[in-house]
């Protein structure tokens, strides 16, 4: 099943400290100190207040994506390993024991780092988990526990503006398009290590869609 995605979500709730994470070529997450300062834009363009605000929001989102994508990428990789190991176990008791050991390991590995994410980071992480696994966090909890547990976990998460049923849809949701745009730029520049989305994304087509809407700000 998918034990540690439950941990992913509920270690996020109620946290607000800011930190930046990068990922090396081996897929290891490391932590760097980040100081939050006011955005300053130097440009020859004459921009409206609305355009300046859009650029500011894009820059903020970029930092959030850089912080959370490594978790979603690593999570997807570990999920595949976890499912392969579970497939080898024959009894429910063996699976339950293995899941408990896995969850304890993931808590030790990720708890401190996840607690340094903000609630809005948590919202972005939920989207990126869907991008990398093709499954909502609600369904991940449902698979692990039960539909009843998923319902109550989802209800609790909403108190912190985290919707566990959120999917990643860059073709119709502007923020999701921005996230994909940020990711593609980061992959090309080598800032982030690319992992393909579970649902195929045609980035060229995607940019044209938003360009045609005259809603693409970059």
pLDDT tens track for 171-189? 999 999 999 999 999 999 9
Alpha helices in 115-202 (DSSP H): 119-133, 137-144, 147-158, 174-189
The more confidently predicted of residues 97 and 108 is 97
Distance CA 89, CA 80 (A): 15
Annotate 79-124 with DSSP letters as a single string.
HHHHHHHHHT--SHHHHHHHHHHHHHHHHHHHHHHHTTS-HHHHHH
At 36, the pLDDT band (50, 70, 90 cuts) reads very low
Nearest to 57 by CA among 73, 41, 42, 45: 41
This model's pTM is above 0.85: no
Which domain, by its residues, includes 133? 3-33+48-167
Is 214 contained in some domain?
A: no
| Other Cβ atoms closer than 10 A to 4 | 22
Is 15 contained in some domain?
A: yes
Rg (CA), the chain: 18
Is 208 contained in some domain?
A: no
Specify the residue for token string 């024991």.
97
Task: Tell me the mean pLDDT in the region 118-137.
Answer: 90
Is 122 contained in some domain?
A: yes
Is 177 contained in some domain?
A: no
At 118, the pLDDT band (50, 70, 90 cuts) reads confident
Is 42 contained in some domain?
A: no
Whether residue 120 has pLDDT greater than 70: yes
At 8, the pLDDT band (50, 70, 90 cuts) reads low
Is 62 contained in some domain?
A: yes
Specify the residue for token string 């989802």.
154
Is 210 contained in some domain?
A: no
Please state the domain count of the chain.
Answer: 1
């Amino acid at each position: 099943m998918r034990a540690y995605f439950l941990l992913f979500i509920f270690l996020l709730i109620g946290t607000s400290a800011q930190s930046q994470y990068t990922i090396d070529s081996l897929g290891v997450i490391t932590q760097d100190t980040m100081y939050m300062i006011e955005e300053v834009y130097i440009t020859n363009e004459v921009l409206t207040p609305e355009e300046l605000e859009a650029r500011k929001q894009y820059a903020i989102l970029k930092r959030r994506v850089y912080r959370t994508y490594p978790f979603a990428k690593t999570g997807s990789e570990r999920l595949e390993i976890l499912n392969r190991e579970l497939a080898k176990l024959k009894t429910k008791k063996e699976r339950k024991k293995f899941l408990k050991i896995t969850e304890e390991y993931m808590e030790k590995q990720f708890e401190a780092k996840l607690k340094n994410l903000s609630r809005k980071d948590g919202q972005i992480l939920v989207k990126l988990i869907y991008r990398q696994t093709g499954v909502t966090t609600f369904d991940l909890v449902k698979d692990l526990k039960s539909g009843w547990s998923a319902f109550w976990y989802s209800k609790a998460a909403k108190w912190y503006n985290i919707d566990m049923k959120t999917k990643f849809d860059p073709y119709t949701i502007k923020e999701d398009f921005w996230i994909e745009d940020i990711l593609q730029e980061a992959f090309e520049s080598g800032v982030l290590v690319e992992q393909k989305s579970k649902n195929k994304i045609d980035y060229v087509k995607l940019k044209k869609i938003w360009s045609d809407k005259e809603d693409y700000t970059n």
